[in-house]
Amino acid sequence: MKSIPPRERLIFALDVPDATEARRLVEKLDDSVVFYKLGLELMMAGGYYELLDWMVARDKKIFVDLKFFDIPATVAAAVRRLNGRGVTFTTVHGNQGIMEAAVAAATDVGILAVTVLTSLDRGDLDDLGFQCDVQQLVLSRARRALAAGCRGVVSSGIEAEAIRRELGERLMVVTPGIRPVENRVEDDQKRVLTVERAFEAGADYIVIGRPIRDAADPRVAAEAIQSSILATCGKA
């Protein structure tokens, strides 16, 4: 496995209503979480860049997950706004031209290409007009991401194994939809894996939100996941 500090392999999805709540939760989690994902909900709440800068000043690693999807010039302009801000990863969700424009615009930000959202299953792909199975679509997008020069992909752990078989270690694999326990009925994630299984399948990082955020003690929940990562990944 890549030489990534084990505690950095957990990316916590900071999906909360506003920046005030985000700061409160970051302070509560303290050193149990190093890496955070900042998504659309916080962007629309206001104070996104101020929060990002506040977290970087506290030595947190940041994954800006806004899934840029627009004409290539607009995506490139958006990516350039992230250069020099201490952002580790950001996401694009588009065709070859969009991915190439994002990669060309990035100086110190790793571009991750979204393959297939973990909230989608075969029926959802039918609704969207994709006449292939999920794994075929994920592999097609991963090949294109590699050709475009992306740092990695966002993929369910279910397809991570296939990506590793076909592309080896040439792409980072960031895996959302991780559930430390059996998936709940009300959960909107459909293609999920446990922490251990995701890393065994080839994930480099895992993204976890609600199992930490909604725990009685988020820090205890995060430390339990960190222990599972250490046991699975060792001292990589």
**DSSP characters for 165-176?**
HHHTTSSEEEE-
The Cα–Cα gap between 141 and 158 comes to 15
The neighbour count for residue 110, using CB atoms within 10 Å, is 17
Do 139 and 164 form a contact (C-beta atoms < 8 A)?
no
Running DSSP on this structure, what letter comes out for residue 183?
A: P
The end-to-end CA distance of the chain, in Å, is: 7
* 37 has catalytic annotation: no
- From the list 37, 60, 61, 67, the catalytic residue is 67
Strands 35-38 and 87-92, sheet pairing: unpaired
The Cα–Cα gap between 13 and 5 comes to 19
Show which residues are catalytic: 67
